[in-house]
């Protein structure tokens, strides 16, 4: 009696389990996916990246950011790289502001195609390059999972709804990360990517001139810092670049958290990390810790988590021959 009551229940559990296994595409991502098919893949990427970083170190920021923009729109499937003849690709959408380094990805791809044609996906290249620029800026190393395949669709309007805007508040940030399967901890850890790179004035100038405090300033931004930033960014400036972590813009370290704790995070989204007890505690912890902090280890873990978002594996998608167009 008991068993006949139980078995439908067990079957149900088994079905749920199987559906879960077949649906969780990331089950097929793994470290060393190209071990047999293109054993030199990661070494080739690194060789090209070493050359690039020597002549153009300022591309480290944009190339780290590119993987983030890829993963948050349709998953990590390289749709961010696709060209559109009619200006309707993700690339052409406003949140792309300052995304650059596409030609670096093309260079890596060309080198890989020479060694093992049609094997290494553009989505995996973005993931490996993001790790390599982190290492090149003296940040942490992590083993990158590979086995992603490339998507065939890129849509102008999707970045607008999937990428958190610079004016996002903490609840928006948490829910946008959660909708990608990423945790509150992933949010505060990955925001630490703002330890390298630059920003256009337009991404934070409303905090200088058009906010709710005295003379239109943002009361959550340090007032001395506001004066410094106003010197660099006049009203309406669309072109000037400002270092997000002044003084160590090319060094991956935990000083982002020191800045945020001092209310010197550049974006409203950075400042928002002080508005939630968990993210605030992490900011305080890292701002008080030494150079080789737990942040390094956390960052690797969260980058692996981000690299699993909505990936295409197995027979889904394709391996593009040229990263800026579908086969
Ligand atoms: C939490 C939500 C996030 C928001 C709202 C955000 C927003 C921004 C904005 C507005 C810029 C400046 C763009 C410009 O004006 O040129 C920027 C730059 C940057 N972001 Fe984020 N970001 C977020 C998360 C991330 C993540 C997860 C990463 C990577 C792990 C990342 C890495 C970078 C890097 C490296 C730059 C510098 C790019 C350069 O040097 O050109 N960001 N971000
Ligand atoms: C895609 O566009 C970029 C510039 O926007 C260009 O350099 C590249 O050659 C284009 N790729 C293809 C395949 O047309
Ligand atoms: C980013 O989008 C703007 C339009 O919003 C477009 O003019 C610009 O060329 C795009 N940038 C890149 C690098 O594709
Ligand atoms: C782009 O995505 C939007 C929103 O998801 C959708 O309404 C639109 O039809 C898509 N455009 C194309 C060309 O697929
Ligand atoms: C965050 O922003 C959303 C959308 O603008 C808004 O509905 C919400 O009330 C805001 N939450 C907080 C805590 O400010
Ligand atoms: C200031 O902000 C308001 C609303 O937030 C907006 O309507 C207005 O255009 C902004 N002014 C400038 C100069 O950006």
Give the tens place of pLDDT for each residue, 296-306: 999 999 999 99
Specify the number of domains making up the chain.
Answer: 2
Residue 165 DSSP one-character state: P
Which candidate in 46, 65, 69, 131 is catalytic?
Answer: 69
Residues 157, 175, single domain; the answer is no
Ligand 3 within 6 A of 96 CB? yes
Extract the tokens encoding 187: 């949010």
Report whether pLDDT(232) > 50.
yes
- Residue from 273, 250, 278 nearest 261 by CA: 273
Segment 110-140, tens digit of pLDDT: 999 999 999 999 999 999 999 999 999 999 9
Residues 226, 125, single domain; the answer is no
Mean pLDDT of 150-175: 97
**Do residues 269 and 168 make contact, with C-beta atoms less than 8 angstroms apart?**
yes
Residues near ligand 2 (Cβ within 6 A): 83, 322, 324-325
Give the least confident one: 92-101, 154-163, 216-225: 92-101
User: What's the gap in Å between 217 CA and the centre of ligand 5?
Assistant: 20
Q: Known binder of ligand: residue 75?
A: yes
Q: Known binder of ligand: residue 67?
A: no
Q: Known binder of ligand: residue 194?
A: yes
Ligand 5 within 6 A of 169 CB? yes
Nearest residue by C-alpha to atom 9 in ligand 2: 324
Nearest residue by C-alpha to atom 5 in ligand 4: 158
5 lies in some domain: no
**Do residues 142 and 59 make contact, with C-beta atoms less than 8 angstroms apart?**
no
| Confidence (pLDDT) at 26 | 46
CATH code of the domain in which 130 resides: 1.10.520.10
DSSP letter string, 3-38: HHHHHHHHHHHHHHHHHHHHH-GGGG-EETTTTTT-
Alpha carbon distance 42, 120 (integer Å): 10
Instruction: Give SS3 for 243.
Output: strand
Ligand nearest to the CA of 58: 1
326 lies in some domain: no
The model's confidence at residue 4, banded by pLDDT at 50, 70 and 90, is very low
**Do residues 260 and 271 make contact, with C-beta atoms less than 8 angstroms apart?**
yes
Radius of gyration of the chain (CA): 21
The whole-chain average pLDDT of the chain stands at: 92
Q: What CA dihedral angle connects 68, 69, 75 and 77, to 10 degrees?
A: -100
21 lies in some domain: no
69 is catalytic: yes
Q: What is the extent of the structural domain holding 40?
A: 28-162
Nearest residue by C-alpha to atom 17 in ligand 1: 199
306 lies in some domain: no
17 lies in some domain: no
Q: Which residues of 241-260 are buried (b: 16+ CB within 10 A; e: fewer)?
A: bbbbbeebbbebbbbbbbbb
**How many residues would you count in the chain?**
327
Mean pLDDT of 198-210: 97
Q: Which atom of ligand 5 is nearest to the CA of 275?
A: 13
In whole angstroms, how far apart are CA 87 and each of 14, 94, 148, 321? 47, 12, 26, 21
Q: Known binder of ligand: residue 164?
A: yes
310 lies in some domain: no
User: What's the gap in Å between 169 CA and the centre of ligand 5?
Assistant: 6
């Amino acid at each position: 009696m008991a068993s006949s009551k139980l078995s439908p229940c067990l079957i149900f559990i088994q079905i749920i389990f199987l559906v879960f296994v077949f649906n969780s595409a990331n089950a097929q991502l793994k470290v060393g996916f190209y071990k047999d098919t293109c054993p030199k893949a990661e070494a080739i990427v690194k060789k090209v990246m070493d050359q690039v970083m020597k002549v153009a170190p300022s591309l480290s920021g944009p190339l780290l950011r590119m993987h983030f923009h890829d993963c948050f729109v349709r998953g990590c499937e390289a749709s961010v790289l696709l060209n559109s003849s009619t200006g309707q690709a993700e690339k052409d959408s406003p949140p792309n502001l300052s995304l650059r380094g596409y030609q670096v990805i093309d260079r890596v791809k060309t080198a890989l195609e020479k060694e093992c044609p049609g094997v290494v996906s553009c989505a995996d290249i973005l993931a490996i390059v993001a790790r390599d620029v982190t290492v090149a800026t003296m940040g942490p190393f992590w083993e990158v999972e590979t086995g992603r395949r490339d998507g065939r669709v890129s849509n102008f309007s999707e970045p607008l709804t999937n990428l958190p805007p610079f004016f996002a508040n903490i609840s928006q940030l948490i829910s946008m990360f959660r909708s990608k399967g990423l945790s509150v901890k992933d949010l505060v850890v990955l925001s630490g990517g703002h330890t390298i790179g630059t920003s256009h004035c337009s991404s934070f100038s409303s905090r200088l001139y058009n906010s709710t405090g005295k003379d239109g300033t943002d009361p959550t931004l340090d007032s001395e810092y506001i004066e410094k930033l106003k010197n660099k960014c006049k009203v309406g400036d669309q072109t000037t670049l400002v270092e997000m972590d002044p003084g160590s813009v090319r060094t991956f370290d935990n000083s982002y958290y020191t800045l945020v704790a001092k209310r010197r995070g550049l974006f409203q989204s950075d400042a928002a990390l002080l508005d939630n007890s968990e993210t605030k505690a992490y900011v305080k912890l890292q701002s008080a810790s030494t150079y080789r902090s737990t942040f390094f280890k956390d960052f690797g873990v969260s980058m692996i988590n981000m690299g699993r978002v909505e990936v295409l594996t197995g027979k889904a998608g394709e391996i593009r021959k040229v990263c800026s167009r579908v086969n």
